[in-house]
Amino acid sequence: MGRTITEKILAAHTTQKGIRTGMLINARVDIALGNDVTAPIAIAEFRKAGGVNVFDKEKVVLVPDHFTPNKDIASAEQCRIVRQFAREQGLTNYFEIGEVGVEHALLPEQGIVLPGDLVIGADSHTCTYGALGAFATGVGSTDLAAAMLTGEAWFKVPESMKFVLHGQLSKWVSGKDLIIYVIGKIGVDGALYRAMEFTGDTVRTLTMADRLTMANMAIEAGAKNGIFAPDETTIAYVKERAKRGYTVYDSDPDATYASVIEVDVTKIEPQVAFPHLPSNARGISSVGNVPIDQVWIGSCTNGRIEDLRVAAKVLKGRRVAPYVRLIVVPATPTIYRQALKEGLIETFLDAKAAVSAPTCGACLGGHMGILAKGERSVATTNRNFVGRMGHPESEVYLANPAVAAASAVLGRLAGPDEL
């Protein structure tokens, strides 16, 4: 019987034999990731368990990105704990202000995660790295502590769902629209503890940015992981970044799936996820008249250079509507520098946007764009739960960067073709 890419990667990281779905395994990890919210708890548990040295100073990665630059005393204390631990352990991959970026944009960019890796992170959007052909999933801080100590974690081998994407994308449609559309069809628990495997002729045309966005939001359908088999696009992306070897896996033709879902992408227009669930999806042509107060472009979902280019293309020669706040957050220093080089930052400033240093910031209701009671924001982020970006009576509408930029100009939910 054939195996899926997810099953193959897990099997390659354990000594247990006869790997099958539903089986509980211990597996060695290639990367164990923490941030300024989750790592302090993991560090405390690591010490409580008697930990002295991490299992591998190159494989434990700490990225204080959520509340940095520190927004208050409490966040400064959190970051100090992470900084001191990284210094004490001599961690190779610790990223501080000036080098720090949003973790799930930073690690692929820096070649830290590679195809065939098994990655855990104390952050639910760790599933982003499935875009590279890695098995990557979020865990709790105590599981991260155990992995930092032993280099292993436990898993239940998930069933896989195959999403076969066919056809050519329409103008302004991106990976963000594909994943919102899919989540809208299957629901926020439609892939509960399953692997979402994306394939089909459309996938071969997707950029790495599109794939990273889609894998990032697999958790919003309840998935254990999202994953793409590496192809020429993946290898071209990885080749210029990898500092170590990697292994490429693909699913067998006779692999078993819990379900196979065919998607005709030619029928998909830019999508908007209305409050208060990522599954509350509507095409841009049916959103109605929804006035907005803020637009936020950035995050581990859509803060990459490709996203900023799209937003700048829409904003070029235009200005943000009166009384609408536009905040643009490049996801890493490298992306920020490239945006400067290409004149994108100037375009954003000319449009009267505020441009921030790399941070998760308002995506999780942290800082740099918190919403007041009754306010509405279009955001290129991945969640729009109640209170996600501020007051519990505020609203967040998830969209791609083109829709976000057009909405900023018109002061209401809108697609770029309306400009």
Write the pLDDT tens digit of every residue in 286-330.
Answer: 999 999 999 999 999 999 999 999 999 999 999 999 999 999 999
- What does the pLDDT look like over 346-391, one tens digit per residue? 999 999 999 999 999 988 888 989 999 999 999 999 999 999 999 9
Any idea which residue has 């937003």 for tokens? 311
Co-location of 38 and 156 in the same domain? yes
Give CA separation, 364 vs 19, 110, 299, 361, in Å. Answer: 37, 24, 10, 7
Secondary structure (3-state) at 267? helix
Between CA 38 and CA 14 the distance in angstroms is 26
Nearest to 46 by CA among 62, 69, 68, 30: 62
Q: Are residues 325 and 228 in the same domain?
A: no
C-alpha to C-alpha distance for 100 and 229, rounded to whole angstroms:
28
Residue 97 has pLDDT above 90, yes or no: no
Count of CB atoms within 10 A of residue 50's CB? 7
Q: What is the pLDDT of residue 1?
A: 79
Instruction: Return the ∠ at Cα 14 (arms to 12 and 17), rounded to 5°.
Output: 90
**CA dist., res. 205 & res. 202, Å (int):** 5
Confidence of residue 177 (pLDDT cuts 50, 70, 90): very high
What does the alpha-carbon distance between residue 272 and residue 380 come to, in Å, rounded to a whole number?
10
The rounded distance, in Å, linking the Cα atoms of 395 and 380 is 13
Q: Look at the chain and report how many structural domains it folds into.
A: 2
Residues 149 and 14 in one domain: yes
* Contacts (Cβ under 8 Å, ≥6 apart) of 361: 298, 329, 367, 368, 369
What are 124-147's pLDDT values in tens digits? Answer: 999 999 999 999 999 999 999 999
* pLDDT value, residue 249: 97
- In this structure, are 191 and 306 located in the same domain? no
Find tokens 């009576």 and name the residue. Answer: 393
- Does residue 89 share a domain with residue 195? yes
For the cut 90, the answer to whether the pLDDT of residue 34 exceeds it is yes
Instruction: Quote the pTM value.
Output: 0.95
Q: Do 259 and 284 reside in the same domain of the chain?
A: no
10 and 144 assigned to the same domain: yes
Same domain membership, residue 171 and residue 27? yes
Mean pLDDT of 404-419: 97
Decide if 210 contacts 175 (C-beta within 8 A).
Answer: yes
**Whether residues 162 and 279 fall in one domain:** no
| DSSP for residue 226 | E
Q: Which of 242, 263, 284 is the C-terminal boundary of a domain?
A: 263
Helices (H), 131-222: 141-150, 175-186, 208-216
- CATH number of the domain at 187, please: 3.30.499.10
- Can you tell me which residue has the tokens 């859509």? 302
pLDDT of amino acid 369: 92
How crowded is residue 162: how many other Cβ atoms within 10 Å of its Cβ?
19
Query: In terms of residue numbers, what domain contains 346?
Result: 272-418
19 DSSP assignment: -
> Which of 209, 230, 263 finishes a domain?
263
CA gap 419, 415 in Å, rounded: 8
237 and 328 inside one domain:
no
Whether residue 299 is found in the same domain as residue 389: yes
For 182-226, what is each residue's pLDDT tens digit? Answer: 999 999 999 999 999 999 999 999 999 999 999 999 999 999 999
Are 76 and 190 within one domain? yes
Domain's final residue, options 216, 238, 263:
263
Interval 25-47 mean pLDDT: 97
